[in-house]
Each structure stands twice: as structure tokens, then as C-alpha cells.
């Protein structure tokens, strides 16, 4: 019996040690609005001048603080099947020739604003270079969400109250976002986008307003939300498959909606401890 107790006690020590090691793993999950503002999101936001001197100064501050966080990998919202293209762009950035490449290759095209202003190139590349990383990891899995179909189902089902709630919620979120864009700097905007309240609001929109869509025999709303969950779960799966035991600190940088959903997966997995963006910005 004593031997059994000793074995059990030893197992507890090992388990505790294992949990202790896991607790040391940290992830900076940073959600953002799209700097180049393609207008593809349901919530319509005004354009933020990411190229202004003030915004560029904030980007340098953020990248410097991320460097202090010491990430071994940075994951971004880029098609995982197009990693080779992302690598080639990052190599140009590391060499200091990315800006010239964009001007020569994309100026005058519809992709110019994307390659010039997008958060991947403005912040993720900047932070990765300062952190001495050799690459930036693509984690996006493209999957369309049939929002228009859900709205048609709500209308056809005569769910006027639900339709009014959806429209009111979108109008409120758009107005609130634009008010913040008008008065806050980049750091303040990112801090606000990554609060627990902002993430609950983001996730709540789908469950509260889309899943009830349609009559009992129509699950268009739930199907649309399923696709949203599926896309984000695929994205997090790509992160998991890219990690090694040496990746004690990682950064995941993507749209706020994705970050809000992926925060649930990180919490449930209970391997990486999520650090607050505010705390990263305060680090000495």
C-alpha cells in the first residue's frame, strides 16, 4: 500500500510539473480592424489613416513591445495554401525593398491599398522583423458565410422583430466603431478591440441574432453560424499543427471577429495562457 501511495504522490508531482510547464506557454491573441478597409464586413467602418505619422509611430511602439514579448511564431490572416507568396513578401520586407515592390507592382491596381495598408504588412511584418523571425505563418482557411441568405430567410419567415434587431445591432456596431475611429489612436483602438466585452459582443451577434433565423424546419441561420465556427476552428487547427514544444510564446494576429472566436478555443484547450495586449504594451 505504501508503494501505491508513493506512486500516486509521484504521479501528482509529475502532473503538477506538467501543468506548470503548460502554464508558462503564452499567446498574444491580437484582434484588429482591417487597416485597408475593403468594406467586406457586415459592420461598415470608416477608413483609418494607417500611413499617418501618428499611426506609424504607434505601429513602431506596438512592434517594439511585441519584440519584448519574444514570440517564436507569428500567425496571420493569410490563406494557408499561399504560404510561399507570404514568404516571398516577407523576404522583401526583411531586405527593405517591400515598399518599392508594392509601388512598382500594384500602384494603380485594385490591390494597391491591400498590399500597402493591410495589417499583415504594416504590423505583423514589422513585429516579426524586429523579433528576428525568419517567417510569418499563414493560418487562414477561406470559407464564405452566407449572410445574405440568412437575411432572406428571416424576411421570408416574417420574423420582423428579429430583422429589426439584426439591423439595429449592425447600425449600433457601425456607429460605435466609427466614433472610436474618429477620436482614438491606434493603440487605444486595439486595446478596446481586445477586451472581454468586445469579444463577447462579437461572438454574441451570431448566437443571438443568426441562429434563430427561419421556421423550425429551416436551419439557414444555424448553418451559417456553423460555417463561421468551422472556419475559425480550421484556422486554429492550422496553428496547432504548426507548433513545436519550443514555441513557448506565440502571437496570433487577425480580424477581431476571428480573434473573438479563437479565444474560446485557446481557453478550452488550456495549453497557452492568453496575455492581455494592454499588459504587453506596459512591459518594460
245 in a structural domain: yes
Average pLDDT over residues 49-56: 96
Grade residue 198 by pLDDT with cuts at 50, 70 and 90.
very high
In this prediction, residue 22 carries a pLDDT of: 47
Full domain range(s) for residue 153? 26-282
In this prediction, residue 41 carries a pLDDT of: 58
Is it the case that residue 37 has pLDDT exceeding 90? Answer: no
In this prediction, residue 3 carries a pLDDT of: 57
Residue 37 CA to residue 118 CA, distance in Å, equals: 8
Average pLDDT over residues 217-240: 97
Asked if 118 and 35 count as a contact pair (C-beta separation under 8 A), the reply is: yes
1 in a structural domain: no
9 in a structural domain: no
115 in a structural domain: yes
18 in a structural domain: no
Is it the case that residue 6 has pLDDT exceeding 60? Answer: no
Q: Indicate the average pLDDT of the chain.
A: 91
DSSP for 51-115, please give it.
TSHHHHHHHHHHHHHHHHH--SEEEEEEEGGGHHHHHHHHHHHHHT-HHHHHHHHHTTSTTHHHH
Per residue in 155-195, pLDDT (tens digit) is 999 999 999 999 999 999 889 999 999 999 999 999 999 99
Average pLDDT over residues 210-218: 96
In this prediction, residue 16 carries a pLDDT of: 43
In this prediction, residue 144 carries a pLDDT of: 86
Burial of 184 by CB count in 10 Å (0-12 exposed, 13-18 middle, 19+ buried)? middle
12 in a structural domain: no
30 in a structural domain: yes
88 in a structural domain: yes
In this prediction, residue 10 carries a pLDDT of: 44
Number of domains comprising the chain: 1
Amino acid at each position: 500500500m505504501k508503494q501505491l501511495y508513493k506512486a500516486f504522490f509521484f504521479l501528482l508531482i509529475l502532473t503538477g510539473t506538467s501543468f506548470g510547464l503548460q502554464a508558462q506557454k503564452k499567446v498574444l491573441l491580437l484582434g484588429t480592424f482591417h487597416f485597408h478597409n475593403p468594406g467586406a464586413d457586415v459592420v461598415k467602418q470608416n477608413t483609418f489613416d494607417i500611413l499617418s505619422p501618428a499611426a506609424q509611430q504607434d505601429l513602431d511602439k506596438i512592434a517594439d513591445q511585441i519584440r519584448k514579448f519574444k514570440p517564436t511564431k507569428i500567425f496571420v490572416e493569410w490563406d494557408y495554401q499561399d504560404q510561399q507568396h507570404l514568404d516571398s513578401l516577407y523576404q522583401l520586407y526583411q531586405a527593405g525593398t517591400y515598399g518599392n515592390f508594392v509601388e512598382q507592382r500594384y500602384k494603380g491596381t485594385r490591390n494597391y491599398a491591400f498590399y500597402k495598408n493591410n495589417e499583415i504588412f504594416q504590423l505583423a511584418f514589422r513585429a516579426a522583423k524586429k523579433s528576428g523571425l525568419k517567417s510569418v505563418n499563414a493560418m487562414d482557411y477561406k470559407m464564405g458565410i452566407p449572410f445574405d441568405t440568412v437575411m432572406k430567410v428571416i424576411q421570408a419567415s416574417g420574423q420582423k422583430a428579429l430583422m429589426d434587431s439584426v439591423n439595429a445591432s449592425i447600425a449600433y456596431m457601425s456607429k460605435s466603431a466609427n466614433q472610436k475611429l474618429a477620436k482614438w489612436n491606434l493603440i487605444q483602438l486595439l486595446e478596446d478591440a481586445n477586451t472581454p466585452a468586445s469579444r463577447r459582443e462579437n461572438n454574441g451577434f451570431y448566437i443571438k441574432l443568426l441562429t434563430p433565423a427561419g421556421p423550425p424546419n429551416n436551419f439557414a441561420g444555424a448553418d451559417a453560424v456553423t460555417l463561421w465556427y468551422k472556419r475559425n476552428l480550421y484556422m486554429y487547427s492550422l496553428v496547432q499543427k504548426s507548433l513545436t514544444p519550443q514555441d513557448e510564446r506565440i502571437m496570433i494576429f487577425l480580424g477581431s471577429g476571428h480573434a473573438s472566436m479563437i479565444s474560446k478555443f485557446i481557453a478550452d484547450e488550456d495549453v497557452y495562457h492568453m496575455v492581455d495586449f494592454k499588459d504587453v504594451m506596459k512591459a518594460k
